């Protein structure tokens, strides 16, 4: 989410507790956990039905207690009460809490790290465009580097979001924003699209590298190296999850703990009518505890929840603004523009370019 001033005011408003509570059913976490809650509710119904029909009896709507109607149907050794003591659950609650805390802490660290690397890539590409626009008079060369930079960042998004960014949408964006269709074909057919995109940026820098100082060229290359490192780190985060041994053990622990909890809650809710309040209580606890695990799973692969589309669009606007400023400044100063076209366009002023365009 991209927050502004009003968003932050609403985020920390005093009514946020009630507002979020009444929107409980709109939470994506709740929607993803409906199956788990339904299974636990069925377990509760099965426990209540077994105990009241076979063992303890039930209470009707008139608050009259009746003996178990099916007590004589099964042999006596099968008419046992489905209930467990609560002490084991209190004993296991501490270790389970530590597992979930460490799980979420590690997942949030991955989210924070991914966001950092994506921002480094975007800011470094923007800085490259700014430095090149001030160090070079090659308008078309700087524009070509900007296009290559956008393609690199767009390719990074495609590589780390998987099927959330289908190949058809990715190819369409490239063909709409890149005039050189042969370059697009080479990128799409490359073994590693991200590596090929980095190669194209290096080539774009070489076009005007002879006219800039060694210091400017070194600075641009250093920024490009930062982009390459950030891309490699993003690929690493996308390809390597938290060790499966840990995550699977934590999930098994939580699953067993929640599955047997209705057995311990049966006697806890003995004062309610036919133990009926056990069902909503178990469902709420399910959403709370499995929700912690669901948050950890969402943060573990952070690129699908990062605002990647907005960041790609922001980089494109930064590049467009830089080219507009560069062209306006050169027009104002009457500086010579080094083009990348034929010999007739090798050296020209921005004013003459505009006159030819008119």
Local structure of residue 55 (DSSP, 8 states): I
Please provide the DSSP assignment of 248-274 as one string: HHHHHHHHHHHHHHHHHHHHHTTTSGG
- Which pLDDT tens digit goes with each residue over 121-154? 999 999 999 999 988 888 888 999 999 999 999 9
| Span 251-266, average pLDDT | 94
Average pLDDT rounded to a whole number, residues 287-314: 93
Mean pLDDT of 311-340: 84
pLDDT digits (tens, 9 = 90+) for 179-215: 889 999 999 999 999 999 999 999 998 887 777 888 8
Least reliable range by pLDDT among 14-23, 167-176, 255-264: 14-23
Residue 241 and residue 302: Cα distance in Å, rounded? 11
Distance CA 181, CA 151 (A): 13
Write down the pLDDT at residue 208: 78
Per-chain mean pLDDT for the chain: 87
What per-residue confidence (pLDDT) applies to 70?
Answer: 84
Assign 58 to helix, strand or coil: strand
Distance CA 81, CA 93 (A): 24
pLDDT at 339: 54
d(CA 122, CA 12): 30
Whether pTM exceeds 0.85: no
The band of 335, judged by pLDDT with boundaries at 50, 70 and 90, is: low
* DSSP helix/strand/coil, 165: coil
Is the pLDDT score of 109 beyond 60?
yes
- Predicted confidence (pLDDT) at residue 312 exceeds the cutoff of 70: yes
Higher-scoring residue by pLDDT: 331, 259: 259
Residues making up the chain, counted from first to last: 358
């Amino acid at each position: 989410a991209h927050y502004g001033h009003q968003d932050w005011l609403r985020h920390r408003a005093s009514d946020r507790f009630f507002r979020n509570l009444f929107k409980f059913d709109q939470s994506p976490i709740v929607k993803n956990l409906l199956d788990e809650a339904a299974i636990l509710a069925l377990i509760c119904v099965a426990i209540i039905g077994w105990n009241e029909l076979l063992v303890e009896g039930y209470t009707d709507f008139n608050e009259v207690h009746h003996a178990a109607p099916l007590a004589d149907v099964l042999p006596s050794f099968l008419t046992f009460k489905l209930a467990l003591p609560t002490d084991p659950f209190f004993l296991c609650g501490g270790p389970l809490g530590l597992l979930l805390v460490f799980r979420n802490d590690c997942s949030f660290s991955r989210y924070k790290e991914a966001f950092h690397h994506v921002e480094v890539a975007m800011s470094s590409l923007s800085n490259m465009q700014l430095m090149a626009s001030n160090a070079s008079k090659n308008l078309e060369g700087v524009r070509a580097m900007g296009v290559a930079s956008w393609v690199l960042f767009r390719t990074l998004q495609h590589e780390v979001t998987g099927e959330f960014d289908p190949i058809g949408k990715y190819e369409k964006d490239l063909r709409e924003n890149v005039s050189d269709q042969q370059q697009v074909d080479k990128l799409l057919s490359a073994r590693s699209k991200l590596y090929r995109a980095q190669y194209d940026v290096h080539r774009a820098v070489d076009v005007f590298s002879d006219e800039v100082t060694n210091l400017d060229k070194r600075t641009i290359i250093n920024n490009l190296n930062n982009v390459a490192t950030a891309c490699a780190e993003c690929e690493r985060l996308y390809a390597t999850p938290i060790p499966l041994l840990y995550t699977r053990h934590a999930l098994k622990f939580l699953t067993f703990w929640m599955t047997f909890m209705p057995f311990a809650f049966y006697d806890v809710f003995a004062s309610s009518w036919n133990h009926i309040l056990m069902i909503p209580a178990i469902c709420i606890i399910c959403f709370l505890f499995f929700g912690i695990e669901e948050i950890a799973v969402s943060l573990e692969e952070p690129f699908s929840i990062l605002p990647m589309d907005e960041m790609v669009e922001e980089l494109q606007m930064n590049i467009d603004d830089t080219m507009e400023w560069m062209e306006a400044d050169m027009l104002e100063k009457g500086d010579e523009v080094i083009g990348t076209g034929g010999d007739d366009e090798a050296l020209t002023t921005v004013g003459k370019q505009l006159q030819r365009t008119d």
